[in-house]
Amino acid sequence: MQTYEFTLVATNGNCPPSTDEEAYDEWMLDVADALAEQMGGRPDVTVGSDAAGVHLEFCREAAAFEDAVNSALLDIKAAGLKALTAEFA
């Protein structure tokens, strides 16, 4: 297996405005918790955000790049997020 690095930008449509720092921070923690739960508590993703959405930087092991991206998409969908864009290094 090989490790593939890529970023998915996602949203769940419920993101509070960043001007409400407390609600926004709580929402981000909920996103991170949902991802960690979906991935068995051992996530291979770093979560960040900006105005475009939630940035999910993956370092995913898989037999092929396509498998890595597809499994990440399934994980974020199960965590209640929807991928908007993808960035590849």
Question: 18-56, pLDDT tens digit by residue?
Answer: 677 888 888 888 888 888 888 886 678 888 877 777 888
Q: Note the CATH architecture for domain 2-88.
A: 2-Layer Sandwich (3.30)
The reported pTM is 0.79
* Both structure tokens of 89: 């290094």
Domain-wise residue ranges, the chain: 2-88
pLDDT of res. 76: 87
Instruction: Tell me the C-alpha distance between 1 and 8, whole Å.
Output: 21
- Reported confidence tier of residue 12, pLDDT bands at 50, 70, 90: low
pLDDT interval class at 89 (50, 70, 90):
low
Reported as a pLDDT band with limits 50, 70 and 90, residue 6 is: very high
